[in-house]
Structures are given as structure tokens and as C-alpha cells.
Structure 1
Amino acid sequence: MTPSGGWSGGSSIRRPPPRRDGERAPAMRAPPALGCQAARGRIASKAVDLVSPMRVIAGIHKGKRLRSDEGLQTRPTSDRLRETLFNILAPRISAAGFLDLCAGSGAVGIEALSRGAAQATFVEHSRRALVALVENLARCGIGDEAELVQRDALSAVKQFIQAKRRFDFIFCDPPYASPIYAPLLELLGAQPPLSEDGWLIVEHHAKRPVAETVGELRRFRAVQQGESTLSFFSFL
């Protein structure tokens, strides 16, 4: 990714080889234009005031402090909710491909990598949020196993679908009042870029429940903590 441009229509995307039954998706590296190292050099040069309210909860990066920008219109997933999420994902996260949509400072995708995911793709439109995300990756020593995409979530998902990308987990956490919330869920349900046994996890306000079925996906579990709910979807 070049931080100023994200994907262009002509960007080449390497596709994984066909998978055998039961085999997880291999780690996918970003094309050279999307590499984390290039992003670090250009994004991290932007001076912003960051705060450090979060940490990696478990795994190889346990205890690492994560930075976020309190001036952004973002709502980081709390430590407690992340812990609940990954307690549920624990039996399946090893060697998985993880997509963190509306990633903010990257706490969820980084937690996935810390706990054994093979690869995480972070989609975030805000340049300021990417400053925090890139710093967090550097703090944890994360390199090629991370892919950064500076683009809005809706257009990024369309690109993944076109490129026939598949993920074992998709974590979707747009701002609760975002106008892309409904069309993003509709797109994810209509053409899910998921592996055959993959899960879509949607974080949403407890007072704004999502439908039991979204296109080809059905909700099989919901967990509420405070004002937030995690809804888990899989193929019908």
C-alpha cells in the first residue's frame, strides 16, 4: 500500500493456490505497493498526538501497549470485548487468514496475529488512524504477516470479491452511525469473501440489532457486553 493512494484499479493481487479440503488459507503477502515497510516510512513521519489506552491481551505479543488517536471518530474495541472475542475464536485462530475491516489502530487484527493467525489484512480509510496502526505493528515487530489497505471498507470488500480473496475470519466494526454500515453488511452477505467454514463477526450497538440472516450468511451466536454486541455469522 502506498499510504496516499491505497489500491488502484490496476494493482496486481497475488492469488493463493487452490486449497485441499480442510486446509486453511495460506498467508498472503501484500503486493509491493501495499507493503508495511513502505507504509511505516511514510505514515510514521506524520506527527500526531497519540495516547496509549490499549494492550495486546494474550499470545506472542502479550502485554504490548497499543496506541490510538483519541481525536479520531473511532471507537476502539475494548480489551474486555476483544478478550471475549478471542476466547471464542481460540480453537480456530491458528494459521487463519484474518480480515480487520474499519481497523482503526489495528488492535483486533494484531490480537489475531498474536494468538496465531498466519496473516491479517487491515482495512482503514483514515490516514491518521493508519499512523497509530503502523506504529502498533512496529511495536509488536509485525512485518510481512500484515497487509495494509488504505481504502474505505465498502470498496475494499468489492476489490477482495473481484480478486477472489478468501478469509477464515472477517471482523467488521464500522462506526455505529456510519452510512456504510447497512450496504457493507449487505455486500458481505451477498458475496462473502470467506473460506467455506469461515466466520463473519460484526460488532454493533446492542440497541441496533442486526438481522438473523444476511444474504448467504446466518447468525449462529451473539454475545453482549455493555452497549456492544458481537454477532457471529457463517454460511447457511
Structure 2
Amino acid sequence: MRIIAGKWRGRPLKTLPGASTRPTLDRVKETLFNLIGPYFDGGTALDAFAGSGALGLEALSRGAERAVLVERNPRALAVIRENVRALGAEAAVRLLFLDARRLSEVLPAEGIAADLAFFDPPYGWSDAALAALLVKLAASGVFRPGATIAVERGGPFSALPDEAPAVGGVLRRLKRRTVGAATLEIWRFDRNPAG
């Protein structure tokens, strides 16, 4: 696994051996960043199931100002720390040893809101659980208005309609693409005009 583009292009990333994490393959990652826009002009990227940190670090390499990498597996968190250190990205990364279901409590309390968010949960997560999490995060202010939300699943993410209301806004599905066994979906969070 490696950084595909940007200032750290070609730099290798470590991954946790075994089946406890499921790293996004380079081909899938490349397609994902082509769908959301290959480069960024600042902003905060959130990787809610960071694994190796590859998606958040790729976003930093492509111009995001900072990344919040969330992981609940302590062994995976150690791998993320190694990758962050190897890239010299410590100042731009906030690591959270946390279950993603607690993000709606922690991030608003720290004044963190995401412009770009990645959700690639482990196999055990149902579509319904992921949909509930996205709606809860949107309602809590974790996503900035206009935030791009990238979801990776093993098949179509069908637990939300193409437009799903959330408190103060709406989640809109913009794109869906299948790459091998992965289905990528791009969503946007828009505030209600009065909100």
C-alpha cells in the first residue's frame, strides 16, 4: 500500500497484518479520489474507520489541511502512528482511539467539523447501522455544510434513499461506482436553507 498522489506520492504505508482491518486497495483508492476530486485546498478530512490511516493520509497528501483518524483497534492505531511519523505528518493529524459511534459526542466538543469524511466500516457493520451513524453525525454538526462523504461497502449502500433528511439538513447521494468487489458512494451534506 502506498500514497498515490500529491506531496507524498509513492511513499509506502504499513498495514496491520491479518483480517482485523480491510485496507482500501490502491485501485479502489484511486477511483475514490477521482470521484470526490483529486486535490483539495485545505479543509479537514475525517477517516472514521482509519485502519492504516491510508485514506486520511492520502487526503493530506492531496492538499487537505488536517486529518482526524479514528480507530478503535489498538494494534491498528499503532500502525497509523508509524505511518504518520514516517510521513512527518504529526502536526496535521489528530488520532482518536475511539469507536466511531462516539464521534457525535467527541468531535463537536473539540470544535472539529469535517469537510471530507470517509466511512469504510468493518464487515460486521450493517448498512442500517452505518446509515444511522451518518444521520446522527450530520445532526450533531460533525459535517460542515457542503461536506463530501465517501462510503465504501461490499455492495450498494441501500439503507438510505438518494436524499435522506437529517436534523438541520439533508444527505444527498451524488455518485455510485463499483470497483471490483467494492461499491463506492459519494454523498454531500447540505444544510437546510433556514438552518
- When normalised by structure 2's length, the TM-score is 0.84
Corresponding position of 1:59: 6
Change (3 A) 1:110 1:92: closer
Corresponding position of 1:11: none
Q: Which of 59, 65, 70 is 1:118 aligned to?
A: 65
Which residue identity is paired with 2:98?
R
Give the stretch that moved more between structures: 192-201 or 157-166: 157-166
Point out where structure 1 has 5 or more consecutive residues left out of the alignment.
1-53
Corresponding position of 1:230: 184
* 1:162-186 residue CA offsets vs partner (Å, 9 max, x unmatched): 4453211111111132265343233
**Any idea what SS the aligned residue of 2:90 has?**
coil
Change (3 A) 1:121 1:129: same
Corresponding position of 2:193: none
Q: Which of 67, 77, 87 is 1:130 aligned to?
A: 77
**Any idea what SS the aligned residue of 2:121 has?**
coil
User: Is the 8 Å Cα contact of residues 94 and 116 (structure 1) preserved in structure 2?
Assistant: yes
* 1:129-166 residue CA offsets vs partner (Å, 9 max, x unmatched): 01111111111111210110000001123322344532
**Any idea what SS the aligned residue of 1:121 has?**
strand
CA distance in 2, matches of 1:156, 1:235: 16
User: Is the 8 Å Cα contact of residues 197 and 235 (structure 1) preserved in structure 2?
Assistant: yes
Change (3 A) 1:99 1:198: same
Query: How many residue pairs align between the two structures?
Result: 183
1:213 equivalent to 2:195? Answer: no
Which residue identity is paired with 2:143?
L
Give the stretch that moved more between structures: 196-205 or 155-164: 155-164
Change (3 A) 1:221 1:208: closer
User: Is the 8 Å Cα contact of residues 72 and 128 (structure 1) preserved in structure 2?
Assistant: no
Cα deviation, residue 126, structure 1:
0.7
Corresponding position of 1:168: 115
Corresponding position of 2:44: 97
Cα deviation, residue 208, structure 1:
4.9
**Any idea what SS the aligned residue of 2:158 has?**
coil
Give the stretch that moved more between structures: 132-141 or 160-169: 160-169
Change (3 A) 1:207 1:91: closer
User: Is the 8 Å Cα contact of residues 72 and 129 (structure 1) preserved in structure 2?
Assistant: no
Give the stretch that moved more between structures: 59-68 or 88-97: 88-97
Q: Which has the larger radius of gyration?
A: 1
Corresponding position of 1:157: 104
**Any idea what SS the aligned residue of 1:154 has?**
helix
**Any idea what SS the aligned residue of 1:147 has?**
strand
Change (3 A) 1:157 1:76: farther
**Any idea what SS the aligned residue of 2:86 has?**
helix
* 1:74-132 residue CA offsets vs partner (Å, 9 max, x unmatched): 11111011111212333662212100111011000010011111000001011000111
